[in-house]
Structure 1
Amino acid sequence: MSALPVTVDKARYTLPAIGLHWVIALLIIGMLCLGYYMVDIPKGIPGRAAYFNLHKSLGVLAGALILLRLGWRLAHRPPPLPRGTSRPMARAAQWSHGLLYFCMLLQPATGYLSSSFNKYGIKVFGVALPNLAWEDKHLREFFMTYHQLIAIPFIALIAIHVLAACKHVLIDRDRIFGRMLP
């Protein structure tokens, strides 16, 4: 009995890219929801720190996975767009993905830096990371301001990304969405 040849579908993303995409997507959406929820928790409320520590832990995890995903993306070309994709649509896809990666890098970086200038530091699921900075209220607030501001265009880009995926499924029916499914 001979083995069947293994073929690779060039029109699909690789399984590691697909897995990283969905895990990171869930982490980011969860952290954005948690972030907006926890900033309204008044200081002195029991359990408040648990929300912040969970957010930081998930942020460090997401940051590491984002770096892994970026490395994977640089080493593996994404599948080509379908024939007939207009130049403006191809450019829009390229720019929106680039901006998503930019936000995916900046968001955890500014959060990490803000926490690094905080007296509490960063604990990842209860394990304290080495403190890379000193306590400095002004630098902490500077990075936290950008961490919060970046969330706004990040959410807009995610919404555009989801709407574009829906357009491909419901209107274009061009199988673009299927390339990111296992």
Structure 2
Amino acid sequence: MSAPWSVERYTRLAIILHWVMALGIAALVVIGLLMVHDDLAPDTMFRLYQLHKSIGVTVLLAAVVRLAWRLGHRPPPLPQTLPPGEKMAAHAGHIMLYAALFIIPITGWALVSSSVFDIPTVLYGLVPWPDLPVFSTLTDKAPVEAVLKTVHAYGAYALIALVALHIFAALRHQFLLRDNIMARMLPRWGKSRP
């Protein structure tokens, strides 16, 4: 097995964006599951929705930066020992994750924009965020809102499954295959690591 930090790594910005997005997604899932309970006090539900929207926009903006960065910075190669089928699965998994990181926040944004409640989004209580004009000007918002709510919810469940597979694959590589692939995306801490 190679030294823990001798593998070719992602760039510092890619690593930071990865972990910011991972934390954001975890928070979105928890908040998303909490905010759909009917027994919440209206002010608590309102705060959860606003926080969910704020974090969702943050994840979307981070995804835009991450995709732009990735287009100009090739990721480190996968281990040569990885079978071709697993390489294809890894690439397909990353493509699906990127797609979900755009589709889910955009459908959430469209959902808020088409909401019959017409509640403004203020990111973290500080920055007003606009509605998508095509959705906010609809005369009959209810059917569009219903479709978007379904797409957003099922997209979130699909993302949860993709993230679970992503984590499983990373742990498999680290602890079963011992190919040190996780070191490519882990932050470096301490003096002993270059």
Tell whether 2:137 aligns with 1:134: yes
Segment drifting more, 51-60 vs 37-46: 37-46
Tell whether 2:17 aligns with 1:20: yes
Q: CA deviation at 1:10?
A: 7.6
Q: CA deviation at 1:55?
A: 0.3
CA RMSD of aligned residues (A): 1.6
Q: Map residues 88-127 of structure 1 onto 2, 5 A cutoff.
A: 88-118=85-115, 119-126=118-125, 127=127
The list of structure 1 runs, each at least 4 consecutive aligned residues, that deviate by more than 6 angstroms after superposition, is none
Q: CA deviation at 1:106?
A: 0.6
Is the partner of 2:82 in helix, strand or coil? Answer: coil
TM-score scaled by structure 2?
A: 0.84
Q: CA deviation at 1:44?
A: 5.7
% identical equivalent positions? 36
Segment drifting more, 116-125 vs 55-64: 116-125
Contact 2:7/2:183 (<8 A) preserved:
no
TM-score scaled by structure 1?
A: 0.90
Residue from 49, 72, 76 that aligns with 2:73: 76
Higher RCO (C-alpha under 8 Å, 6+ residues apart):
2
Residue from 47, 52, 56 that aligns with 1:50: 47
Q: Distance in 2 between matches of 1:48 and 1:24?
A: 23
Deviations 1:34-83 (A, max 9, x none): 10111114476332100000000111111101111111111110101111
**1:146 equivalent in structure 2:** 151
Residue from 148, 162, 171 that aligns with 1:157: 162
Unaligned runs of 5+ in 2: 1-5, 188-194
Q: CA deviation at 1:114?
A: 0.2
Q: Distance in 1 between matches of 2:43 and 2:75?
A: 47
Q: Distance in 1 between matches of 2:13 and 2:38?
A: 37
Q: Distance in 2 between matches of 1:164 and 1:43?
A: 37
Contact 1:20/1:69 (<8 A) preserved:
yes
Paired letter, 1:95: A
Paired letter, 2:151: Y
**2:172 equivalent in structure 1:** 167
